[in-house]
């Protein structure tokens, strides 16, 4: 991408589907099964929330510019930090940014040697939402001012040179999350209620950190998240709704984003759209205000959308936070 100094494909490093789940995603007929199940649940008992628009960023007293994870594989930490930014702002607390740097340091430290040996893309900096779960419950998260994001003098995806300061640790301890909804589908299959479960979280005012696989495009060296159509519109197509475009047999990596809303949509385009906040600055979703018929009106540069059937059939893991009353 000529307007992006670092190739986007080099810093996904979300939790890549492990072999067992990857085989399921690539199995003949799986994409067709996902489409069929999504359609059936919509017509015979799917959540009524599928017919409602949700926007957790609406009405906030502050809208943040898109964050930028480059050049590191820190998307999981950024997605979770964004969930906290929005969740706290919605609760009427003074709007502030929370620190992906702090979270990522401790997420990597929480990976045992045994886990590291089998974690796909570990050497590229990959983490799971499982590690975020552990850090938020045991340590919390500090504000961005106490642990600014580091982009220089780093090997891609690895630690900063120094651990968080004592001040950062003290601040983080005031912001722990003990009630966390976390689902991990590493062993497969992905339940056909997954999209409805995420909709339920959104309906309760809780953003969702969502991990999805990244697929190569057919007859192209690009993938479904970084080709020009996605970078311009913010719309990311999955293997079920667009088998003509997405090569379901060629999984590239994984990516994690913060889901902040939902817009209903027609069945032939995937059954609706989950709106997400990405961590690729304004180089993603550059023109979000002119949707075609049936496609979502994303409205905010740096945000994007994935179809309901992509989420319903290909979610690797997701997490939402339930603040203390």
pLDDT in tens, 112-161: 888 888 888 887 788 999 999 999 999 999 999 999 998 765 554 456 66
- Which stretch of 36-50, 165-179, 236-250 has the lowest confidence by average pLDDT? 36-50
What is the pTM (predicted TM-score) of this model? 0.92
Structure token pair of residue 166: 């004592």
Residues 138 and 172: their CA atoms lie apart, in Å, by 10
Using the 8-state DSSP alphabet, how is residue 162 labeled?
A: S
pLDDT in tens, 266-281: 888 899 999 999 999 8
Only one residue has tokens 């419950």, namely 137
Contacts of 189 (CB under 8 A, 6+ apart): 24
Structural domain boundaries enclosing 190: 8-322
> Given this model, what pLDDT does residue 200 score?
96
In a domain, 1, yes or no: no
pLDDT in tens, 215-227: 999 989 999 999 9
In a domain, 224, yes or no: yes
> Given this model, what pLDDT does residue 95 score?
79
In a domain, 3, yes or no: no
First to last CA, the chain: 45
Residues 288 and 169: their CA atoms lie apart, in Å, by 38
| Max Cα-Cα span within the chain | 55
The CATH number of residue 261's host domain is: 3.90.70.10
Q: Are 15 and 76 in contact (CB under 8 A)?
A: yes
Residues 318 and 145: their CA atoms lie apart, in Å, by 27
Strands (DSSP E) found in the chain? 54-55, 179-184, 208-217, 235-236, 246-263, 273-277, 303-307, 317-322
Sign of the alpha-carbon torsion through 21, 23, 28, 31: positive
Q: State how far the alpha carbon of 300 is from the alpha carbons of 38, 168, 286, 294, 296, in Å.
A: 27, 31, 9, 18, 12
Residues 101 and 145: their CA atoms lie apart, in Å, by 11
Q: Are 235 and 296 in contact (CB under 8 A)?
A: yes
Q: State how far the alpha carbon of 133 is from the alpha carbons of 77, 106, 178, 182, 209, in Å.
A: 11, 11, 9, 8, 11
Number of domains in the chain: 1
């Amino acid at each position: 991408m000529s307007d992006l100094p670092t190739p986007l494909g080099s810093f996904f490093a979300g939790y890549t589907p492990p072999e067992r789940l990857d085989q399921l995603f690539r199995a003949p007929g799986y994409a067709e099964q996902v489409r069929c199940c999504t359609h059936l649940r919509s017509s015979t008992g799917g959540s009524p929330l599928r017919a409602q628009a949700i926007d957790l960023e609406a009405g906030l007293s502050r809208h943040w510019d898109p964050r930028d994870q480059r050049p590191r594989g820190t998307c999981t930490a950024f997605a979770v930090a964004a969930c906290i930014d929005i969740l706290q702002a919605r609760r009427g607390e003074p709007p502030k940014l929370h620190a992906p740097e702090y979270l990522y340091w401790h997420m990597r430290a929480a990976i045992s040697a045994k886990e590291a040996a089998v974690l796909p893309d570990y050497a590229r900096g990959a983490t799971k939402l499982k590690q975020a779960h552990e850090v938020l419950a045991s340590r919390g998260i500090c504000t961005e001012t106490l642990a600014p994001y580091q982009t220089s003098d780093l090997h891609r995806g690895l630690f900063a040179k120094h651990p968080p300061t004592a001040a950062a640790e003290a601040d983080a301890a005031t912001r722990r999350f003990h009630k966390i909804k976390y689902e991990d589908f590493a062993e497969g299959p992905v339940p056909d209620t997954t999209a409805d479960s995420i909709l339920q979280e959104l309906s309760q005012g809780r953003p969702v950190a969502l991990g999805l696989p990244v697929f190569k495009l057919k007859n192209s060296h690009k993938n479904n998240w970084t080709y020009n159509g996605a970078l311009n519109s913010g719309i990311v197509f999955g293997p079920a709704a667009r088998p003509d475009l997405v090569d379901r047999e060629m999984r590239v990596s994984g990516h994690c984003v913060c889901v902040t809303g939902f817009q209903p949509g027609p069945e032939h385009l995937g059954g609706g759209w989950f709106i997400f906040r990405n961590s690729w600055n304004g180089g993603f979703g550059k023109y979000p205000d002119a949707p075609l018929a049936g496609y979502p009106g994303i409205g905010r540069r740096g945000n994007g959308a994935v179809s309901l059937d992509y989420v319903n059939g290909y979610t690797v893991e997701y997490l939402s936070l339930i603040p203390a009353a």
